[in-house]
Amino acid sequence: MEDVRANLSSLFPAAARPPADPPPPRQPHSAADLAALIDHTLLRPDAGWREAEETCREAIAMCCASACLAPRFAARARDMLQGSGVHLCIVVGFPHGNETPEQKAFSAAQAAAHGAQEIDMVVSVGALREGDFAAVLSEIQGVRAAAAGAVLKVILETALLSDEQKVQGAILSAFAGADFVKTSTGFGPGGANRQDVALLREAVGGLCDVKASGGIRTLEDALGMLAVGAGRLGMSATRQVLSSFGEATGC
């Protein structure tokens, strides 16, 4: 970890120092507490508006943090979610992250114009793997600037990275202005696991938050991710997870 920080200090001198202490682990005591930490997600490529509409209705009924959707649903979802307290989250560069920085920035600006309050962008995994840190930094900063008022989450696709690369991506994301560093798209070779969440939290400390996403299908999964440092969870099995509290899932 310290070697990674030292290597990145040429871009960010402050990266050589350990980050601020992280917040204490979230400990939800009810279904409502947990729902407030969940991005209720629909990102299947075959999903249509009826399913996106139902996802929004479910997110409202359960009082989730957000409904996370594909860009083409943004404008209509904004109208549905308006005034509900549930944020609209739109993905950018999804799911592979291979768009140019200019394309990602444009997509983020358009999503924000259509009402997105949160942006989940996929980093250029190839650039991160080959150590092109300036490119990774630049594209995240471009999206940050294009959607300045939105919560920004940077997806690393951790299953494709070594532990060293996960730490590098997390630190770069935090110093580029991300609000969260996120494990996975859910479309890669693997999803979130406790070891990766704990590693990302150690890397960023209190500089930004951590979102666990991909394969979270049980209450045990969800609570385990929170216990090791996640501050947000992305899932489609939200109602199933919340119902495991043994109480109503409404708020």
- Both tokens assigned to 169: 């991506």
Q: Tell me the three state secondary structure of residue 23.
A: coil
CA separation (Å) from 72 to 43, 91, 92, 174?
Answer: 11, 10, 11, 28
Which sequence positions are flagged as catalytic? 120, 182, 211
Q: Which two tokens stand for residue 70?
A: 């594909």
Residue whose entry in the numeric block shows the structure tokens 């594209």: 139
- Output phi, psi for 97, to 5 deg: 75, 15
Collapse the DSSP code of 219 into the 3-class scheme (helix H, G, I; strand E, B; otherwise coil) and give the result: helix
Report the alpha-carbon distance of residue 154 to residue 183 in Å, rounded: 8
**Long-range contact set of residues 125-134: C-beta below 8 Å, sequence gap at least 24:** 125/96, 125/97, 125/156, 125/157, 125/160, 125/161, 126/98, 128/156, 128/161, 128/165, 128/168, 128/169, 128/172, 129/160, 129/161, 129/165, 131/168, 133/8, 133/11, 133/168, 133/172, 134/11
Residue type, 184: S
122 membership: H or E segment, kind and range: strand 118-122
